[in-house]
Each structure stands twice: as structure tokens, then as C-alpha cells.
Homo-oligomer: A and B are copies of this chain.
């Protein structure tokens, strides 16, 4: 524990988060993480057995905050399922316009470590995306959508597709396009009842 009051382990994860997200896993040395956290490398290796374990801790720290943000954007207004999901995409597009934005940390890590399928960080990334998909599926099922599971997967594909495409082209408008596609797919799947006029 350091003078600052923030536990050492936590400060190391914060430093790792900033560096790994910005420069990629293999682009960041353990030295650099230790230096940014203000500890020596030996201290870092006291708290984490290896770099791989540190990478896993980096992604685990992004899991809940990320999901909470999506849920918050969704709930900001009760203007119907298509609009609520589309708002997630619109907010992501806004995030993507910040100069430091570099896509989805989970997807970028899985792309970088594609030759290590059992890596602990990849398992954490997969679990994170499964949680998001499950939340969508339950939300859709509660709205009376019959093909809730399939629709949730389609929305996930649009979301992760927009992460990849926007990162490549540096053009956040693709996220708005993805949001419109999501809107259309959800609208087409909604039951005709429930106050939502569709093909009346």
C-alpha cells in the first residue's frame, strides 16, 4: 500500500488499463506498467504472477463498468425498444469521436492474442460479451419478442462490427448506421400489439 491511500494492486491495474488499451498488449512492457504505477517491477511481480495474469486483471476491471454504461444509455429514456437500443449506438459514436478512443478493449485483445485461444484474458472477454448478449436477450424476451435469442445475437454482431469498422476507418458514422440497422431489426421483430404501431 502506498502513501496515496489507493492500494498498490489497484494502482497497477489502473496503469495497465491506460497503457494496454492505448498501445496494445504486446506493445506495452511490464517495465512501462510498473513505472506508470509508480512501483518497481519486483513489486508488480509480487501482486501478479505474470504479464498474462496482469492482462486478465486489466480486462476484468473493464467488465462491470462497461456493462453498466450500456444499461445506463438504454434506460435514459423509455421511448421504446428500438430507440433505446439505437441510443447505445449513438452514445458509442460520440465516444468514438474522442481522440483517445481505440475501439473495444475486449475485441482488440482477442485479436492480438488470437494465437492463444485459452488465454485467461480471452476467457474474460468472451464472458463479458456473453453477459451483454444475455442482457439483450432477456430484455427482448420481456418485451414479448419471440426470436429474442436470435435478435440479441444480431444486435451484438452489429455492435462489435461497428467497433471493428470504426477503428479501421476512424469514421464514427458507421456506428450510427449500425444503430439504424439495429432499430430496423428490432422493430420488425416486435409484436404488433403494445402501442407500437407497425404496418397498421
**Closest residue on chain B to residue A157 by CB atoms:** B161
Q: Is residue A60 contacting chain B, with contact meaning CB distance below 8 A?
A: no
Partner of A154, one of B26, B102, B163, B181: B181
Chief secondary structure at chain A's binding surface: helix
Instruction: List chain B residues, Cβ under 8 A from A161.
Output: 156-162, 164
Q: How many copies does the complex hold?
A: 2
Given contacts A23-B115, A107-B111, contact A160 B150 (CB under 8 A): no
Please, what's the 1-or-0 string for A159-175, where 1 marks a CB less than 8 Å from any CB in chain B?
11111110111100010
**What is the bound-complex CA distance between A17 and B42, given in angstroms?**
38
> For chain A residues 138-185, which have a beta carbon within 8 Å of chain B?
150, 153-154, 156-165, 167-170, 174, 177-178, 180-181, 184-185
For the complex formed, measure the closest distance between the CB of A127 and the CB atoms of chain B, giving whole angstroms.
10
Contact between B114 and A102 (Cβ–Cβ < 8 Å)? Answer: yes
Contact between B27 and A115 (Cβ–Cβ < 8 Å)? Answer: yes
Contact between B157 and A162 (Cβ–Cβ < 8 Å)? Answer: yes
For the complex formed, measure the closest distance between the CB of A200 and the CB atoms of chain B, giving whole angstroms.
14
